[in-house]
Amino acid sequence: MNECRAAVITALNQPLEIQRVPVPALQKGEMLVKIEAATLCGTDIHRWHGPMMGTDTLPMIVGHEPCGTIEEMAGEKRDIVGRPLKKGDRVVWSYVACGNCYWCTAAVQPCVCPDRMSWGHNRSDQPPYLLGSAAEYMFVPKECHIVKVPETVSSASAAASACAYRTIMHGFDNLGAIKSHETVLIQGSGPLGTFAAAVAKDHGAKSVLMIGAPKNRLEVALRMGVDEALNLEDVKDAKDRRAWVLDRTGGRGADVVIQAAAINVIPEGLTLLRKGGRFLNIGIGGSGKAPIEAASIPMESTIITPLSGEPRHWLQAIDFMASRHDRYPFDDMISKSYKLDEINDAMQAMAKFEVVKAVIYPHAA
């Protein structure tokens, strides 16, 4: 096999093209994975709409949330917990930090490694070509940590673990314990916020509140651990939203606020947090400025800003779904499936918030 089909961004805000992209020859330790499912993320839409991030340039294969089966391996490999891998294993895999810089070594913060390798924004006309998940096959560098996917987790949900869900696990690692008397408020009803609801409930929160939109997303969130939801489309005034939160927290504000929407909502989120509370800032999308008045930051509060995830967070996300699949309907977050040729329909649906999560099945007939 010398080539495979992939969905490629060739120009900002223009329809993606289905192109034939070279399949690279494997060196020792590398893998080629047949993509079973590729879920789409808000970041994919931002990359499509622009502006380009950092040093990114086109063309690029869209998508950074893959799950697939091992098609080829160059030599023996083991997964993240030491089990041998073989052709046909269904897997997800981590990003790759350099391992040598200050952040990787002294600070032990590999997620902010300046040379960290990730997917969905790499040129598709330069080796190793296949570093986006909306493709029939994907190249896996030798340094990646591999996580096997159990039978109880669907390929679509496993793919979503490769971004939104592992980022939430990273956030909760940094957040620490949620006590049984605490109320968690989540801003945003997309995949980040909805998965965060399940984790917050599972971690023992007394109550999980959500502010988001549209209605169809909130309906999913209410099945995923949210106790009460406020629809932004119905309550447009921030003062009224704050009153709604205060009414449910004894006038204090939430013990924990999780920003899982966009940077624009950070200022409002801080007004919903109690004094001494914890603010978990995860959503990185949005545009424009988000000015914050210093006096609005609650005294003795803690602000936590996790980025992406370390390899263990891929494992935690998969294990969370595998062990709690009878408690939370994770697949309900996968709103609609598309063939590879329907990539533009899927991107438009995500951009218009018509779906919580779109999934591409590249080999679907």
Sequence-distant (≥ 6) Cβ neighbours of residue 182 within 8 angstroms: 205, 206, 255, 256
Q: What is the DSSP string of 149-196?
A: PPTTS-HHHHHHIIIIIHHHHHHHHHH-PPPTT-EEEEE--SHHHHHH
pTM: 0.94
What is the pLDDT, as a whole number, of residue 287?
67
Q: What is the DSSP string of 65-86?
A: -EEEEEEEESS--B-TTSPBP-
d(CA 174, CA 22): 40
Q: Work out whether the CA dihedral 332, 70, 114, 55 comes out positive or negative.
A: negative
d(CA 29, CA 156): 26
Q: Select from 1.10.8.60, 3.90.180.10, 3.40.50.620, 3.10.290.10 the CATH code of 3-154+334-361.
A: 3.90.180.10
Q: Which CATH class is domain 171-304?
A: alpha beta
Kind of pairing, strands 60-61 and 90-93?
unpaired
**Do 319 and 297 touch, CB atoms closer than 8 A?**
no
What three-state secondary structure class fits 97? Answer: coil
d(CA 134, CA 6): 6
Output the tens digit of pLDDT for each of the chain's 365 residues. 899 999 999 999 999 999 999 999 999 999 999 999 999 998 899 899 988 778 899 999 999 999 999 999 999 999 999 999 999 999 999 999 999 999 999 999 999 999 999 999 999 999 999 999 999 999 999 999 999 999 999 999 999 999 999 999 999 999 999 999 999 999 999 999 999 999 999 999 999 999 999 999 999 999 999 999 999 999 999 999 999 999 999 999 999 999 999 999 999 999 999 999 999 999 987 766 788 888 889 999 999 999 999 999 999 999 999 999 999 999 999 989 999 999 999 999 999 988 889 999 999 98
What is the pLDDT, as a whole number, of residue 174?
96
d(CA 3, CA 76): 24
d(CA 95, CA 353): 27
Amino acid letter for position 346:
A
d(CA 229, CA 226): 7
Domain ranges of the chain: 3-154+334-361, 171-304
